[in-house]
Amino acid sequence: MAHPVDMGDHAIAQIRYIRQTMERTGSFTAVPGWGGVAIGVTAIGAAALAARQGDLRSWMLVWLTEMALAMAIGCLGIWRKTHHGDKSLFSAPGRRFFLSFSPPVVAGAILSWILYRHQDGAVMPGMWMLLYGAGVVTAGAFSVRVVPMMGLCFMALGAVALGVSMETGNWLLAVGFGGLHIGFGLWIARRYGG
């Protein structure tokens, strides 16, 4: 004869199952709107500074510094948004978001190194925006609807940047990493909070 199942234990197991199912199908809503605006502002400054550099090494150093600053701002913004929203950064949607975003960014880093070694910087602005946009589109599948739309805008701008000079590409980086982040950051902050 089987032992009766305690209804309290059964109810807790069902609630745990429902919570895990909802977490797996949920979206990553911690994309920081105001963090995006801050990233955009620093990117415009980086473009102005990079335009004054006389060689590829110095130009790349400006943009690599901007990338590190943007990552710090983005991580802080995500942390603040998850902390204030009482959500976990390591939830299933959060993990899927970052795992989807990472491969295009890693590919961009490898290709940047190769292009730098060959002293071919003209395609870097377009490549950076294309791959960043691809990362945002794929990660955006686990986020709010506006995120993949932002990624597509980056990809379109990156495609345009592939056909221009490095100087013009630098200013298109300001339009992309500056203007697109500011515009979409304001949209995200207004519609989805912080």
**Banded pLDDT at 186 (limits 50, 70, 90):** very high
The yes-or-no verdict on residue 4 having pLDDT over 50 is yes
**pLDDT: which is higher, 173 or 93:** 173
Burial 11-41 (b: 16+ CB within 10 A, else e): eeeeeeeeeeeeeeeebbbbbbbbbbbbbbe
**pLDDT: which is higher, 163 or 32:** 163
Q: How far from each other are the two terminal CA atoms of the chain, in whole angstroms?
A: 57
Q: Where are the domains of the chain?
A: 33-192
Q: What is the pLDDT of residue 6?
A: 65
Angle between helices 166-173 and 124-140 (to 10 degrees): 30
pLDDT > 70 in the chain, percent: 78
If one counts every other C-beta atom within 10 angstroms of the C-beta of residue 112, the result is 19
Any residues with CB less than 8 A from the CB of 138 and at least 6 apart, and which? 100, 101, 103, 104, 151
**pLDDT: which is higher, 63 or 97:** 63
Instruction: Give the DSSP letter string of 2-52.
Output: PPPPPHHHHHHHHHHHHHHHHHHH--B----HHHHHHHHHHHHHHHHHHHT
Question: C-alpha 141: how far from its chain's center?
Answer: 12
Q: What is the pLDDT of residue 23?
A: 46
Q: What is the pLDDT of residue 113?
A: 95
How confident is the model over 15-66, as pLDDT tens digits? 665 555 544 444 555 677 898 999 999 999 999 999 999 999 999 999 999 9
Full-model pTM: 0.79
**Banded pLDDT at 140 (limits 50, 70, 90):** confident
Q: What is the pLDDT of residue 144?
A: 78
Mean pLDDT in residue range 95-103: 83
Residue 131 in contact with residue 175, Cβ under 8 Å?
no
The yes-or-no verdict on residue 9 having pLDDT over 80 is no
Instruction: Flag the least confident range among 15-19, 96-100, 134-138, 171-175.
Output: 15-19
**Residue 28: left (phi > 0), alpha (psi -120 to 50), or beta?**
beta
Dihedral sign, CA of 103, 106, 110, 116? positive
The whole-chain average pLDDT of the chain stands at: 85
Q: What is the pLDDT of residue 22?
A: 47
Give the chain's radius of gyration (CA, Å): 20
